[in-house]
Structure 1
Amino acid sequence: MRNTLLRMLAALLCALAACADIVPVKDLDLQKMAGKWYMVGFATNAQWFVNHKAGMKMGTAVLVPTAGGDLDLSYANLNADGTCWRMTHLAKKTDTPGRFTFHSQAWNNENDMRIVEVQYDDYALVHTIKSKEGVSEVLNKLYSRSQEASATLQQRFSQFSQETGVLPENIAILPKNAECPEA
């Protein structure tokens, strides 16, 4: 137990130091980010993920740029019982292109989201620092335009996640899942 706690504390300190320097992609084109993405990879040391990762499956994210440069985010995931879990956020642009902030009402936390890498017709690597009551956690997501991610891309996601302090056992390539019907 003590070793696990020390490893998690070390990972958190590493994450906080590393994440402060995570720079969004240069010259982000929000219009090219628009549309449906599959959430194929998920990585975080957050305890809720550690407790639930075995049952997690691929979901979708729809990104819609607003006229003011913000980003409407809509997430959907089909549950095992056939119901759909949905969540939406309006991510507000910051002075740094590719960096957005939003408050999650569902989780009551503040989010600092950065689009770190993107090939608009293939994948996007998104890094978010979630903060609640003085505690910060890293959440990395690998979005893909298809339900497949190449071995090279999976390795890149894993490497990036470890560089931002996520333990290797908390990096998941999510299994395919049927999609929620359009809302």
Structure 2
Amino acid sequence: MAGVRILMLTLGVLMFVCLWGATEAVGGAKSRPRPQRRPRKKPKVDPIDVTPPQKNVDIQQMTGTWYLLNMASKCSYLINHGTKVEPTLMTLTMSPTSDQSLLVNTKTRHNHQCWEIMQMYHLTSTPGRLTLPGTHPDLNIDIVIGETDYTSYAIMYYQKRGKITMKLYGRSVDNLLEPLLTKFEQLAEKQALGLAYLFPFPTYSHCGDVDQHHKINCVPTC
């Protein structure tokens, strides 16, 4: 009889141990922290995408001659040689073969010679946004006509590989008001282009006759 009691007691202890072990296992599983999913990376937004063009830009009214008056850029060449920039003049003409293309002729001085750089901007489905194709899509330059009144000034944004350059153009070199220059500086500041990255261009001695012609598809934004 005593042997039976000992056997029953032993079985009871074994069942208790088994049940306790199972409970601990289940409890342990519940107490483990569940692996956390990594937060999804926010899609990259290029600066040019948050820089809307002026509403209802009339590209025909943009044609004609523009003088480069000021530039905001972190271009290393400008940072090192910004005091040696040359007078620069840009002429815009609608392409005779396509109403979706804009011919861009830029005259400037290089090595004491007058150069003419010829490019073609492509219009996009958004008025005021253009593209200068590169040799590879990664080298395309996106262009936005940020603000203009067509008759006196134009503020344009150029982006290449996520870096922004801003340019202030005038129809002439002597009728630009000081408040507009201040506005350009304020807009540049919003692009993290403070006074250290502003480079005024000469307003005299622009090129007349051209010594060198260069037809290229893509140049650096600066």
In structure 1, the partner of 2:102 is 71
Q: How many Å apart are 1:104 and its aligned residue?
A: 5.0
Query: TM-score with structure 2 length normalisation?
Result: 0.67
Match of 1:118 among 148, 152, 174: 148
In structure 1, the partner of 2:198 is 171
What SS does the corresponding residue of 1:159 show, helix, strand or coil? helix
Match of 1:34 among 53, 60, 63: 63
Q: How many Å apart are 1:25 and its aligned residue?
A: 1.0
Match of 1:101 among 131, 145, 158: 131
Match of 1:91 among 83, 99, 121: 121
Task: Please give the per-residue CA displacement for 1:141-162, whole angstroms capped at 9, x wherever unaligned.
Answer: 1010011322111111111111
- Structure 2: which 5+ residue stretches go unaligned? 1-44, 211-222
Q: Distance in 2 between matches of 1:104 and 1:181?
A: 29
Query: TM-score with structure 1 length normalisation?
Result: 0.80
Instruction: Indicate the structure with greater helix content.
Output: 2
Q: How many Å apart are 1:119 and its aligned residue?
A: 0.8
Q: How many Å apart are 1:17 and its aligned residue?
A: 5.8
Q: How many Å apart are 1:111 and its aligned residue?
A: 0.4
- Structure 1: which 5+ residue stretches go unaligned? 1-15
Task: Please give the per-residue CA displacement for 1:7-50, whole angstroms capped at 9, x wherever unaligned.
Answer: xxxxxxxxx76433000111111111111110011110121221
| Identity percentage of aligned residues | 24
Structure 1 outlier segments of 4+, above 3 Å: 16-19
Instruction: Indicate the structure with greater strand content.
Output: 1
Residue 58 of structure 1 aligns to which amino acid in structure 2?
P
Greater relative contact order structure (CA < 8 Å, 6+ sep): 1
Question: Rg bigger for which structure?
Answer: 2
Match of 1:50 among 76, 79, 95: 79
